[in-house]
Structure 1
């Protein structure tokens, strides 16, 4: 048990993930339904979505194992804290729970669950062309973003079944934008924090370009909400806070400023989902 507690702390921190998944699940369910969200549905969907994100982590551990052994031997799996076989078994156990719970609670959602799993397998195999894909960092990220939208559509299907309304595109764009923000937040670092063999956007493109791309990626979600009539009220927060931060960070390029990229990404995501929950 101590090994698993250490693993989750290092690689899948529940104290960080659970509140964010709980909040975004409530926002998606509120967006999907005009009725108040039932606490039972919210808790179940939160656990199911958390399970999908854990399975993504398991796929990443398998996919990155050789690279981690070479460049990041301090991580939990390369140093022998947890084995890939153990992770696989836990991932399959979680899949069994997801399958049973989805069928029992809202069986039409099984279709979206299966679609999520299929796409996760494709991601784990790097779409069967890993060498070429890794040479295209932007395309690599774009190819992985749809899983975020699929996961949130799976959550919404507990209200909609498979009858998705026209406003689904707003949910999809906010989800894609939030996924991009998380990805950039993890991979924009000051020069002194870069690691040999670890591909980051700040190292590939330079800090100014990486930050501006981060800002534009988040802006897609904001403008989707605003264009659809559900989120202009957040514009002053985003462009009064995030743009000056991105600009100053690009100019300073220091750990003091860049350490907040991931924090601001989380804030940005939370605000977008809250605006989604208030969508008319």
Structure 2
């Protein structure tokens, strides 16, 4: 079983990169929130590790749950993947999932101050795995799946935000927390839509947003979301790094050009790859700007 799980994690959920992603997601919210609230003295300990571990585990839950839900579809369209190919068994993943979830629940009960939001996160995730008991309606509707499933990333953000607010006695509902919840949510929404945009000649039996609504219309919608995303980032970074804000502006201008080029000729490149590059630059800018602020102050 262990060798099969090693194969699965290597291909579908690489441990080290995903753990680093959890670290970045947690501390980006953590420090951006505190710095925008004027808090410059930090108390980092076991709770922060539990928060990071919870994000890491929850992203793993989403990955495995998707593989379970899409098993029959993957057998037809992606038979080379670890689960549909038979190189890992459903029972292997179920055992792994049970162990990490149990550890996560125990750690949150013992150490965290936002157990209500933790339970809400896991209840939402559980309902997702059962298609909110509306499988026929949701599974057969890509927009419905997006509306019901993608907001879980917002709930994950609120889990971290609530922990920081409770720990440092900050208001849970404020301009900063609302901006943070959305600025950390937009990348997942933008990526989820853009990965299902294809040029007309590349469409297959796989259902995409471009097939449903036309690639131009969907691309313009993603462009709109990108503008909202960058505005929330700029608002949060304004008091931390003006240089970082400049990088964000240049990045979104570059991305705007990419959108326009793709709308004119979708065969030139994959919009998903350009969106990923935009996201990496945006998130890296936020993280680096915060790190430099903590080291040398406002710049």
Q: Report TM bin, short chain.
A: 0.7 to 0.9
Question: Which residue in 1 is equivalent to 2:223?
Answer: 215
Alignment partner of 1:115 is 2:120: yes
> Partners of 2:109 and 2:289 in 1: how far apart?
27
**Structure 2 gap segments, 5+ residues each:** none
Alignment partner of 1:263 is 2:276: yes
Cα displacement (A) at 1:185: 3.9
DSSP 3-state at the match of 1:76 = coil
Q: Is the 8 A contact 1:103 1:109 kept in 2?
A: no
Alignment partner of 1:183 is 2:192: yes
Question: Which residue in 2 is equivalent to 1:161?
Answer: 166
Q: Is the 8 A contact 1:184 1:214 kept in 2?
A: yes
1:171 to 156, 180, 188: 180
Alignment partner of 1:199 is 2:207: yes
* Mean Cα deviation higher: 64-73 or 131-140: 131-140
Q: Structure 1 residues 74, 126: CA separation in 2 closer, same or farther (over 3 Å shift)?
A: same
Larger Rg: 2
> Partners of 1:18 and 1:185 in 2: how far apart?
24
> Partners of 2:262 and 2:187 in 1: how far apart?
20
Question: Which residue in 2 is equivalent to 1:29?
Answer: 30
Cα displacement (A) at 1:182: 2.4
> Partners of 1:77 and 1:20 in 2: how far apart?
24
Question: Which residue in 1 is equivalent to 2:153?
Answer: 148
DSSP 3-state at the match of 2:114 = helix
| RMSD over equivalenced CA pairs, Å | 3.0
Cα displacement (A) at 1:211: 2.1
DSSP 3-state at the match of 1:100 = helix
Q: Is the 8 A contact 2:157 2:184 kept in 1?
A: yes
Cα displacement (A) at 1:56: 0.8
Cα displacement (A) at 1:120: 0.9
More relative contact order, 1 or 2 (CA 8 Å, 6+ apart): 1
Q: Structure 1 residues 190, 276: CA separation in 2 closer, same or farther (over 3 Å shift)?
A: farther
Question: Which residue in 1 is equivalent to 2:10?
Answer: 9
Question: Which residue in 2 is equivalent to 1:125?
Answer: 130
Alignment partner of 1:46 is 2:52: yes
Please report the TM-score for the alignment, with normalisation by the length of structure 2: 0.79
Cα displacement (A) at 1:27: 0.7
* Mean Cα deviation higher: 25-34 or 15-24: 15-24
Q: Is the 8 A contact 1:28 1:273 kept in 2?
A: no
